Amino acid sequence: METLNLDLNKRYSFADYLTWFDDIRRELYNGFIKMMTPSPSISHQRISGKLSRAVGNFLVTKKCEVFYAPSDVRFPDKTDEKSDKKIYTVVQPDLYIVCDPKKLDKKGCLGAPDMIIEIVSPKNAKRDVVDKFNIYQNSGVKEYWIVNPNDKNVNVFILDNAGKYQLVSIYAGDQKIPVNIFEGKLKINLTEIFED
């Protein structure tokens, strides 16, 4: 399939994004294209799969659902502007959890998921730690995990009452991470997540 010739200095909407039929993965940050890295490493995929299974198994009898990349999460600039032409931020988190089924449609998730997990790779570290951190915080994502496969640790952030992320802890080793949106009823065993 032919690669599109898009202007990286031009601002695009989700409506534009929907017309890009090629094999290139992209995200939009306030309307500007951010190219995604090529396919994630095997280690990245293993961690994603294990996290997805752990969360998915817990959610079998619950109303929340877990989704994984590639799946679009759209963040409207204003809560009342949900038209594809008025949405300028579209991301594809490694994993996200949605507990409000009204946010889900055939295009993915519209609005803030309850929780997002990003697995850092060397080429996208700044994006996950700075750019997406700010997008998720400003959009009201309640819980954000940054998984560091090389260091085998997880940074857990919770949105406070002022709408700012607070670092709960950096988990490593054989610790079990409580999932805060589920009041700790689900604990993720790091030993299992990082085992090869």
What pLDDT tens digit does each residue of the chain (196 aa) get? 455 788 888 999 999 999 988 878 899 999 999 988 777 788 899 999 999 999 999 999 999 999 999 999 999 986 667 889 999 999 999 999 999 999 999 999 999 999 999 999 877 777 888 899 999 999 999 999 999 999 999 999 999 999 999 999 999 999 999 999 999 999 999 999 998 7
Q: What is the pTM of this model?
A: 0.93
Question: So what's the architecture of 41-72+90-194 in CATH?
Answer: Alpha-Beta Complex (3.90)
| Domain extent listing, the chain | 41-72+90-194
Quote helix, strand, coil % in the chain, to nearest 5.
25, 30, 45
**Cα(169)–Cα(155) distance, integer angstroms:** 6
Q: Which phi and psi (to 5°) does residue 138 adopt?
A: -70, -20
Identify the pLDDT of residue 123. 77
Residue bearing tokens 């992320």 = 165
